[in-house]
Structure 1
Amino acid sequence: MATVEFRQASRIYDPSRPPAVSRVSLDIADGEFLVLVGPSGCGKSTTLRMLAGLEPVDEGQIFIDGVDVTETRPRDRDVAMVFQSYALYPNMTARQNMAFALQNAKVDKATINERVDFAAKMLELEDLIDKKPAAMSGGQRQRVAMGRAIVRQPKVFLMDEPLSNLDAKLRVSTRAQIMQLQRELGTTTVYVTHDQTEAMTMGDRVCVLKKGILQQVDTPANLYDNPGNTFVATFIGSPAMTLIENVPFIEGRAVGGRGHALDYYMPRELAAKVRGDRVIVGVRPENWEIVGVNQPGAEYGLPVHVDIVEHLGSELYIYGHRQEQADELIAVRGDRITVKVERGVEVDQGDTVYLRPIEGGSVFFDPETEINYDYL
């Protein structure tokens, strides 16, 4: 177990182009499960490989347990990596695959057998211990790959999208297994994924990257409820947050709709930070209230035409576009509003629903920087 620290660490492939990883500063606590998440090409796997020593650090430093490992060879960093492709030796059994690194390190046979048996029991691989990868399913191979990392008893586990080759049902069960495993071992873990659902359910904290630049590091709950900027707001959460641009800011209030009858309930402490007459407002699907279907309610509601109805078993979402153009400057980013429909409300494709944001359910961003006012 160990702490990990990135100090202004960068990876630059081509000096004429922006860095793949740009000045990342990050502290990872002893025993923490940190998830790196972001779209393809954002630098998350490169960041992980820099920590492993598989990519050089062109600027800055990386520390493991307070020791500068920036120039240390991968084999001397005491980290173990689980790859997306499993990377098992096809001619070896599960036991041989897990024992291979320990044999190379000249660990005595009794210790090797003890560690392999311990990992096999923890990962429920006893029945597969003498089988080769060709006789295993994808999930079983991934467990062998994790067992190979566990037997080394490293200071840090590094996992690079280990579940991406598995089917949806197996991903869920293996995800739970990895979480339980990490809690039992207490080993510091850095996990890379492009799946924000994985990130939100697995990480103690989540680090969001975009184009090699760290956007926000926080707990899953804070990332969801109080995203640092509009990118995090739309990337974290499924379905995504609706962003409404150029919402009028009048006398300390963010308002919209005909006659400014729609109040987004902007807190006073945030209103004091606004310097212009427009703001960006973000509303999660569950933070809209439907006050009328096909006819206005008792109070004003934003009219939205329902384009798609999505049934997810226990939940129902609708996707629509704003009908009223009372203020031509107001625009919905992506021209789509997403609403989670409460039980008992009947809505069909083609209907018009009338919406109001619930009090305390909106997030407010500066239109110039697109940063959440709460962080300014």
Structure 2
Amino acid sequence: MATVEFRQASRIYDPTRPPAVNRINLNITDGEFLVLVGPSGCGKSTTLRMLAGLEPVDEGQILIDGEDVTETRPRDRDVAMVFQSYALYPNMTARQNMAFALENAKMVKATINERVEFAAKMLELEDLLDSKPSAMSGGQRQRVAMGRAIVREPKVFLMDEPLSNLDAKLRVSTRSQILALQRKLGTTTVYVTHDQTEAMTMGDRVCVLKNGILQQVDTPGTLYKNPGNTFVATFIGSPAMTLIENVRIQSSRAVILHDALEQDLKMPPSQMEKVHTDKVIIGVRPENFNVVSVNEKPSEFALPLRVDIVEHLGAEAYAYCTPLFPEESDLVVRGGRVIVRLNRGVKADSGDTLWINMDEDGVVFFDPETEINLDYL
């Protein structure tokens, strides 16, 4: 087990273009399961490869257990990496694949056998130790790749999208196995994925990247409830948070107006003090919209939405809607779509009109200029 620290670490492929990884500062505690997440091309795999020593660090430093490993060879960093493509030797059995690195290190045969048997039992691979990769399923191959990392007993596990080649059902079961395994071993783990659901269910903390720049590092719950900026707000969560621009601030209140009626969004005074314009961006999760009525205009404040699609997910249903704001309204819904979770008992179909308001406790306020959550300014 070990701590990991990135200090202003950058990877620059082309000096004429922005860095692939741009001055990342990140501290990973001993035994932590940290997930790097972001869209394709954001720099998450490059960050992992920098830690592994497979990519150079052009600026800054990387430390493992307080020791600067920026110029250290990959083999001397005491880290083990699990790749997306499994990277198993096809002519070797599972046992031979798992033992290969230990044999190269001239380890005693009895110790090698002990470690391989231990890893195989933990990963439920005992019946496959004498099988070659061609005779295994994708999930079994991935477990062999993990076993090869486990037998090395490294300071840090590095996992680069290890589940992306598996089908949906196997991906769910395998991620729970990985998490249980990490909890049992207590090894510091850095895990890369583009799947934000995977990130939220696995990580002790989640690090969100965009264009090589670290956006926010926090617990999954904080990222969901109190995202640091509008990018994190819309990237984390499925379905995504709805962003509404040009919400007015008047008389020291943030209000939404419609048909001479209004809803006070109960913006905290501490955030109100940080706003330097008369408008603000708000973010609302699907579960924080309240359906006031369907197809019948209410007498109380409510905003009208046209239902485009209703997505049924077993116990839950989500309505994907287009706002029906009047032309004179300043309100702009980013992306042009509002997503509302339909509570039990609410019936709505495509073409219906939903009338909604917001649960004030679930509204997040963003600065209109920087798009940073006002709670963090």
Say whether residues 1:362 and 2:363 are aligned partners. yes
Q: Is the 8 A contact 1:262 1:302 kept in 2?
A: no
2:139 and 2:174 map into 1 onto residues whose CA distance is: 7
Tell me the amino acid that sits aligned with residue 323 of structure 2.
Answer: R
1:22 and 1:91 map into 2 onto residues whose CA distance is: 40
Say whether residues 1:265 and 2:255 are aligned partners. no
Tell me the amino acid that sits aligned with residue 276 of structure 2.
Answer: R
2:74 and 2:104 map into 1 onto residues whose CA distance is: 15
State TM-score, norm by structure 2.
0.99
1:271-326 Cα distance to aligned partner (Å, 9 max, x none): 12111001000000000000111112342110111011100111100011111226
Tell me the amino acid that sits aligned with residue 344 of structure 1.
Answer: G
Q: Is the 8 A contact 2:308 2:320 kept in 1?
A: yes
Q: 1:371 aligns to what?
A: 372
Which is worse superposed, 148-157 or 299-308?
Answer: 299-308
What percent identity do the matched residue pairs reach?
76
1:99 and 1:298 map into 2 onto residues whose CA distance is: 72
Q: 1:88 aligns to what?
A: 88
SS in 2 for 1:374: helix
State TM-score, norm by structure 1.
0.99
- Structure 1 residue 330: deviation in Å? 1.4
Tell me the amino acid that sits aligned with residue 15 of structure 2.
Answer: P
1:82-104 Cα distance to aligned partner (Å, 9 max, x none): 00000000000000000000000
Q: Is the 8 A contact 1:257 1:326 kept in 2?
A: no
1:326-369 Cα distance to aligned partner (Å, 9 max, x none): 64321000000000000011111111011110121100000000
Structure 1: gaps of 5 or more residues? none
- Structure 1 residue 268: deviation in Å? 1.8
- Structure 1 residue 50: deviation in Å? 0.2
Number of corresponding residues: 376
2:320 and 2:45 map into 1 onto residues whose CA distance is: 33
1:253 and 1:140 map into 2 onto residues whose CA distance is: 57
2:78 and 2:31 map into 1 onto residues whose CA distance is: 15
1:146 and 1:67 map into 2 onto residues whose CA distance is: 26
Say whether residues 1:205 and 2:201 are aligned partners. no
1:65 and 1:326 map into 2 onto residues whose CA distance is: 59
Q: Is the 8 A contact 1:4 1:65 kept in 2?
A: yes
1:319 and 1:267 map into 2 onto residues whose CA distance is: 29
Q: 1:351 aligns to what?
A: 352
2:330 and 2:262 map into 1 onto residues whose CA distance is: 16
Q: 2:75 aligns to what?
A: 75
2:252 and 2:21 map into 1 onto residues whose CA distance is: 40
1:54-98 Cα distance to aligned partner (Å, 9 max, x none): 000000000000000000000000000000000000000000000
SS in 2 for 1:257: strand
SS in 2 for 1:162: coil
2:281 and 2:351 map into 1 onto residues whose CA distance is: 28
Q: 2:281 aligns to what?
A: 280
Q: How does 1:299-314 map to 2 (within 5 A)?
A: 299-314=300-315
Say whether residues 1:33 and 2:44 are aligned partners. no
2:50 and 2:360 map into 1 onto residues whose CA distance is: 44
- Structure 1 residue 44: deviation in Å? 0.1
1:87 and 1:187 map into 2 onto residues whose CA distance is: 22
Q: CA RMSD in A?
A: 0.8
- Structure 1 residue 265: deviation in Å? 2.3
SS in 1 for 2:360: coil
2:31 and 2:241 map into 1 onto residues whose CA distance is: 32
Q: How does 1:131-142 map to 2 (within 5 A)?
A: 131-142=131-142
